[in-house]
Amino acid sequence: MRGPGTVATTAFHVANLCSQTLFDTRENRARWRGFLTACGRSIAVVDLRSNRHSMSEKMGSGWLDTPQRYGRISRGFHWCMAAFFGWQFAGAVLFVSIGDKAITRLVGGSHSTMGFVLFVLVLLRGVWGLMNLKRRPAHAGRLGRAAVTGHFLLYALMVVVPSLALLRQYGSGKGFSPFGVELMATRGYKIEWMMVPGDLLHYWLGFLLLGSILGHVTMAFVNRRAKRDDVLERMI
Ligand code: HEM
Ligand code: HEM
Ligand 2 neighbour 122 (Cβ under 6 A)? no
Q: Crossing angle, helix 26-59 and helix 4-23, to 10 degrees?
A: 80
Nearest CA residue ID for atom 15, ligand 1: 92
Domain boundary among 58, 83, 101: 58
Domain boundary among 58, 79, 97: 58
Say whether both 42 and 159 belong to one domain: no
Exposure string over 107-142, b if 16+ CB within 10 A, otherwise e:
bbebebebbbbbbebbeebeebbeebeebbbebeee
| Count of domains forming the chain | 2
Which ligand places an atom closest to the C-alpha of 165? 1
Say whether both 97 and 134 belong to one domain: yes
Say whether both 111 and 54 belong to one domain: no
* Ligand 1 pocket residues where CB is under 6 Å: 88, 92, 95-96, 108, 111-112, 115-116, 118, 161-162, 165-166, 169, 176, 202-203, 206-207, 209
Domain boundary among 15, 36, 58: 58
Per the structure, the complete domain to which residue 140 belongs is given by 62-235
| Confidence category of residue 165, pLDDT binned at 50, 70, 90 | very high
Say whether both 71 and 23 belong to one domain: no
Instruction: Name the pTM for this structure.
Output: 0.81
* pLDDT digit string, tens, across residues 205-220: 999 999 999 999 999 9
Say whether both 92 and 197 belong to one domain: yes
Say whether both 44 and 87 belong to one domain: no
> For the chain, what is the mean pLDDT?
85
* Region 148-173 average pLDDT: 98
Q: Which helix (H) or strand (E) holds 213?
A: helix 192-226
* pLDDT digit string, tens, across residues 81-98: 999 999 999 999 999 999
Nearest CA residue ID for atom 23, ligand 2: 217
| Confidence category of residue 26, pLDDT binned at 50, 70, 90 | low
Nearest CA residue ID for atom 7, ligand 1: 206
